[in-house]
Amino acid sequence: SEVTYLNYDVLTDFGWETDDEDLLRKAAAEDLDEVDYGQFEVQPGQSLLEAAEDHDHAWPFACRGGACANCAVMLLDGELSMPASHVLPSELMERGIRLSCNGMPVTAELTVLYNIKHMPELEDLLL
Positions touching ligand FES (CB under 6 A) are 61-64, 66-71, 87, 99, 101
Angle at 100 between CA 92 and CA 46, to 5 degrees: 140
Q: Which is nearer to ligand FES, 11 or 82 (CB)?
A: 82
User: Left if phi > 0, otherwise alpha if psi is -120 to 50, otherwise beta: which for 108?
Assistant: alpha
Sign of torsion over alpha carbons 36, 113, 46, 102: positive
Comparing CB distances to ligand FES, the nearer of 108 and 127 is: 127
Of 27, 60, 54, which Cα lies nearest the Cα of 41? 54
At closest approach, how far in Å is the CB of 64 from ligand FES?
Answer: 5
State the nearest-atom distance from the C-beta of 24 to ligand FES, in Å. 24
Shortest Å distance, C-beta 119 to ligand FES: 15
Nearest to ligand FES by Cβ — which residue?
A: 101
Q: Report the residue number, 33 or 83, with the smaller CB distance to ligand FES.
A: 83
CA dist., res. 123 & res. 25, Å (int):
28
Which residue lies nearer to ligand FES by CB, 28 or 93?
93
Answer yes or no: are the C-beta atoms of 11 and 117 closer than 8 Å. Answer: no
In the complex, the smallest distance separating the C-beta of residue 86 from ligand FES, rounded to whole angstroms, is: 7
Contact 102, 46 (CB under 8 A): no
